[in-house]
Amino acid sequence: MLAAVFLCWLLCGPAHAATWTIRTQPARLLNGAPFLLQIKPPSKLASLTGTWLGHQLTFSYDASTKTWFALAGVSFETNPGVYTLDLSGERASANAPLSFTRKLSVARAKYPQIKAQLSVDQKFTEPTPEQLKEIEESKKVKEDYLNRVSFAREWSGRFIAPADAAISDVFGSERIFNSGKTSSPHQGLDYRVPTGTPVAAMNDGTVLLARPLYYEGGFVVLDHGQGLLTLYLHLSEFKVKEGDFVKRGQEIALSGGTGRATGPHLHVAVRWQGTYLDPARLIQLPLPKGD
């Protein structure tokens, strides 16, 4: 009798849960970093969704590996610790849900502690009342557009660098403007390029924004789906308009030094469901194309 109970426990309990295979790339999750989730469920699914750190995940299916995949991330502010990934799927053979929970560990990344003293026009550190109105208008535009989340995936395969140039500043560094009047952490990646350098789309997507804003200057935002945006700042000329669909590598703008910039360069940022992630780490990820 005891043997039968033990056999049932093996077949019906933990062994069933163990048939879920969950892989992250990279294997070590870090604050401020994106990562790829690859899931093999215990049975064939019609769809798979999940939640992670308060974010909704929508998975795509890769028939070549028979896995479900999604891009996710960890905010820069997330403390080291263990966090819960919740998965929920619909079986293909029956209208019955299938769920699973896994604990994932997050470690602290080592970002360079660079305190750069930068000098910019006074209007960016001590704006006049009229300029404050412009800032507020730009803020409203960003609050409206950047918080939009389209769950249909448009990106396919690896993300590429937007320019073939040296990097002048990295994600996570601290910048101090005009002798301490204002400061902010660097939320993107800077490329050392002269004005007029072609800027390429990092992946397939739809042009969400293509207009000048107060701090950003010439500003293009691409929506790649699944809540993932890439942002291109300080541009001198637009080569696309809002609503256009673009392919990876397509020229979308020319670089410049507009907005709050100390000189000509290209600033690129990655935003995932309201969280800024390290663009350099996204470019390094080996991402599938999917179906």
| Cβ pair 87, 97 in contact under 8 A | no
Residue 120: its pLDDT value, please?
63
| Cβ pair 219, 212 in contact under 8 A | yes
- CA–CA dist 130, 119 (Å, integer): 22
Residue type, 16: H
- Give the homologous superfamily in CATH for domain 115-284: Glucose Permease (Domain IIA) (2.70.70.10)
| Cβ pair 156, 205 in contact under 8 A | no
Q: Using the predicted structure, report yes or no on whether residue 5 has a pLDDT greater than 90.
A: no
Residue type, 280: A
Start-to-end C-alpha separation, the chain: 49
Q: In this structure, are strands 60-62 and 67-73 parallel, antiparallel, or unpaired?
A: antiparallel
Phi, psi of 79 (to 5 degrees): -80, 155
- CA–CA dist 159, 62 (Å, integer): 18
Q: Calculate mean pLDDT across residues 146-154.
A: 86
* Model confidence pLDDT, tens digit, residues 74-133: 999 999 999 999 999 999 887 778 999 999 999 999 887 666 555 666 666 677 888 888
- CA–CA dist 160, 285 (Å, integer): 10
- Residues near 88 by Cβ (< 8 Å), separated by ≥ 6? 48, 49, 50, 97, 98, 99
**Within 13 Å and on the Cβ side, how many CA atoms surround 141?**
18
Domain boundaries, the chain: 2-107, 115-284
Q: For residue 194, is the peptide bond before it cis, meaning its omega torsion is within 30 degrees of 0?
A: no
Pick 202 or 182 by higher pLDDT: 202
Pick 142 or 111 by higher pLDDT: 142
Residue 134: its pLDDT value, please?
86
Model pTM?
Answer: 0.86
The domain defined by 2-107 folds into Immunoglobulin-like (2.60.40)
Q: What is the mean pLDDT of the chain?
A: 87
- CA–CA dist 16, 8 (Å, integer): 11
